[in-house]
Structure 1
Amino acid sequence: MKVKRLRWWIIGLVCLGTIVNYLSRSSLSVAAPTVMQELNFTEHEYSWIISTFQLCYTIAQPIAGYILDSVGLKVGFFVFALLWSLVNMAHALAGGWISLAFLRGLMGLTEASAIPAGMKASSEWFPAKERGIAGGLFNAGTSIGAMLAPPLVVWALLTFESSGLGTEMAFVITGGIGVLFAITWFLIYNSPDKHPWLTKEESDYIEEGQEKHLAAGNQKPSVRSILKQRNFWGLAIARFLADPAWGTLSFWMPLYLMKVMHLPLKEIALFAWLPFLAADFGCVAGGFIAKFCMEKLGMTTLNARRTAFTIGALLMISIGLVSIVDDPYMAIALMSIGGFAHQTLSTVVITMSADLFKKNEIATVAGMTGSCAWIGQLSFTLVMGALVAVIGYGPFFVGLSIFDIVGAIVLWVLIKEPAHHQPSAPVTDEEAIITPQ
């Protein structure tokens, strides 16, 4: 059996994986009030649980990327997805905050594989000019998963409340979905050179559109060699500067709307998801902007990516304007523009690892730069937590609007164009169709 445009079905499968990944990690935050009451722990102890996940996730990203590069995506991501799903289900057995923190740490170690896996799949299955769009599509799963968690978890809590198993079933259901995904992944995924459903025409199209000088070698990735390259540090610094914006939207926005804008909880529930919806559109916008620059303006792949990042960085000025508005709905609108802008540039800079490094290094590089991104997010969160009560939110919003402009400068100054590059050739109307038929 042959499937036309199989690459888009494959990236859809990868997107499903990121949806399941973020659904699992978001299940605890939705169920937290009930879990805290049942297991009798406070917000302070809950912060330790969350910090354990963040720390383990930060540490594990380069390790997960190295494993995926070494054993391959089919087996590697299957094992990671199965493990995080089983750990999620094991949350139902937690007897206190310490055991819950231990389980969240294990989840952080395994869930760190998602973004490196998605980037590696994009690099294997797509020509350079489509890689940014593919990266945006799988990255959109992060926001979709976070948006699906509240209704599903609340449904489980209410449905099984009478039996006293509401929280347990919330974890069992979200974890069970992950187990089903892991099995599906193992049955369907293969690299292009091994997939029986791939047509020769599509295989040739993918191969011809990829950089020959970045072809994978037989050796395992060398972390030492990667660390010596200025291109790695360009990506790492840009991601370090970019990620605090996502952490602020995810962890601080509801608190800001309630305490500073005095928005009722019901109104927050109605409108606070809009920045994440805008972020979904931003995930694919960066890829389309870069593709336009390559096809219509004749830019090299790298310059097209840097241009798309710069456009996103300029749009991030909207976040800084939040500090001077008094209307909560205007603040949400500006943060929605910020969510769009952040995911535009974030997806672009993640994709650049496939433009600059060999295929057997991509997941490792994505994991290592991902750790830098999370270090940036954690550092900003700690500083914000210590000072926001003293100086308010304004300076932090202004800081977020500046960070990405600095990141854009870093990309233009520090990153070096690969020695073997050619402007991407225009594609035909047939090749430009990206939706599965």
Structure 2
Amino acid sequence: MNWRSARLRILLLVMVGTIINYIARNSLGVLAPQLQHDLHITTQQYSYIVGAFQIAYTVMQPIGGMLIDRIGLTAGFALFAVAWSLANMAHGLARGWLSLAAFRGALGLAEAAAIPAGMKTIGEWFPDRERSVATGWFNAGTSLGAVIAPVLAALVAKQWGWQAAFAVTGAMGLVFAWAWYRFYRSPQNASYVGAQELAEIREGQRPVPATASTIGAIVATKRFWAIAVPRFLAEPAWQTFSFWIPLYLARERHMDLTSIALFAWVPFLAADAGGVLGGYLAPWLQRRRGLSLEGSRIAGITLGAVLMIAPGCVGLVAGPLAAITLLAIGGFAHQVISVLINTLSADVFPKGDIAKANGLVGMAGWTGGLLFSLAIGQLADRTGYAPLFACLGLFDLVGAVWLIAMRRHLILEKA
């Protein structure tokens, strides 16, 4: 990739949007112990608050993707960014778990379009050979936002209260919405892309058979289920990291808000590295091991699944630093998996369907995350977190086996 290219600037722009999106959603986790105290919220009620976001996000992902495909990225992503900003700022008005759950559900509806929009952007702007690398950097925004959120939210909350933390993290999205609407254009409509780069983008994208673009037609394809099932099994890990690590550190590792702010970002920093390196891993495997374009993605997902054994063992270590180390390995591994599953959705569906297809794959993933979060809410106070983390180590291994079985005929096929 030419680092002076227009597509690099587009990648940086969409990455900033993803960072801001994840700062907004991850602020709740670090504020959860304080919210539980001030609003008298039980662990079970907190799981319902998390669940409200997850249900709304799950349902809205394919709808948001469909709207993005229909009205276009420029206006569509900007509108969703405005909506998530206002919903996050409204969290400061909560007076109990029910009102907080309502605002959280509104945030889920608005934020659901971010990943489908990002993947559609990459599908439009990047040749096939660069797509996993671009997805790796884009996906790094999710974990970088999660790195920033605990520090930013905790510092603002300690200085001005948790209401101010939601206001600050929400208002950032309004700035992004303006920038996106002002600057984003598709390659064929962008005045800032030269003829040579436009030709490079077009020539580097292999044709993908165009199927009927309805949601039902996408769901009926075998390639959709090949990707959706591993995503269903992988997403519980990320939802657990995003929404439950601060409570886990407070309850089982006896850390206060300051300590959580100092250490809760570490798994997400490791996740940044996993997202970026996962993007480079696929083309390396393609060049050095003779794998096909799709086979290189599947091999990387399998490697990430093996590494997910580490967070599954978090209940076996005594010290909090050892636990955070294992969670960091899990963050790294999960983002390798996430990047390559998202890239597959851009690889196997035509550009006109990418946002819808990615939204449907995301819907499958968030269904898994929702079910697992509700399980944590029901079981954590009784069983502790260790058995639940152990499940995360198993889920991705099952997902990798499924993906290999469904797409094995393409792993060694030359690109």
Letter in 2 for 1:353: S
**Partner residue, 2:41:** 42
Per-residue CA deviations over 1:335-374 (Å, capped at 9, x if unaligned) read 2111101110111111100111111111111111111111
Flag the 1:261–1:99 CA change in 2: closer, same or farther, 3 A. closer
Match of 1:207 among 202, 205, 219: 202
Shift of 1:194: 0.7
**Partner residue, 2:67:** 67
Shift of 1:322: 2.5
TM-score (norm 1): 0.86
**Partner residue, 1:192:** 187
Flag the 1:295–1:203 CA change in 2: closer, same or farther, 3 A. farther
SS state of the match for residue 190, structure 1?
coil
Shift of 1:187: 0.8
SS state of the match for residue 351, structure 2?
coil
Q: Matches of residues 257-268 of structure 1 in structure 2 within 5 Å? A: 257-261=249-253, 267-268=259-260
Q: Matches of residues 160-175 of structure 1 in structure 2 within 5 Å? A: 161=160, 166-175=161-170
Q: Matches of residues 139-178 of structure 1 in structure 2 within 5 Å? A: 139-157=139-157, 159=159, 161=160, 166-178=161-173
Match status 1:238 vs 2:233: no
Letter in 1 for 2:48: W
Flag the 1:396–1:125 CA change in 2: closer, same or farther, 3 A. same
Flag the 1:403–1:110 CA change in 2: closer, same or farther, 3 A. same
Indicate if the aligned counterparts of 1:132 and 1:284 stay in contact, CA closer than 8 A.
Answer: no
> What runs of 5+ residues in structure 1 fail to find an aligned partner?
424-437
Letter in 2 for 1:192: P
Shift of 1:62: 0.9
Indicate if the aligned counterparts of 2:290 and 2:414 stay in contact, CA closer than 8 A.
Answer: no
Match status 1:82 vs 2:77: no
Deviates more, 1:312-321 or 1:333-342: 312-321
Match status 1:58 vs 2:58: yes
Letter in 1 for 2:182: L
Indicate if the aligned counterparts of 1:27 and 1:150 stay in contact, CA closer than 8 A.
Answer: yes
- RMSD, matched Cα: 2.6
Flag the 1:233–1:198 CA change in 2: closer, same or farther, 3 A. same
Match of 1:311 among 297, 303, 320: 303
Q: Matches of residues 348-367 of structure 1 in structure 2 within 5 Å? A: 348-367=340-359
**Partner residue, 2:133:** 133
> What runs of 5+ residues in structure 2 fail to find an aligned partner?
none
Flag the 1:31–1:317 CA change in 2: closer, same or farther, 3 A. closer
Larger helix fraction of residues: 2
Match status 1:179 vs 2:171: no
Per-residue CA deviations over 1:371-410 (Å, capped at 9, x if unaligned) read 1111111222223333345544443333222211211111
Aligned-partner Cα distance in 2 for 1:105–1:320: 29
Q: Matches of residues 349-388 of structure 1 in structure 2 within 5 Å? A: 349-388=341-380
TM-score (norm 2): 0.90
Match of 1:414 among 397, 406, 413: 406
Q: Percent identity?
A: 45
Letter in 2 for 1:27: S
Aligned-partner Cα distance in 2 for 1:89–1:295: 47
Indicate if the aligned counterparts of 1:230 and 1:415 stay in contact, CA closer than 8 A.
Answer: no
The structure with the larger Rg is 1
Indicate if the aligned counterparts of 2:271 and 2:334 stay in contact, CA closer than 8 A.
Answer: yes
Aligned-partner Cα distance in 2 for 1:230–1:333: 38
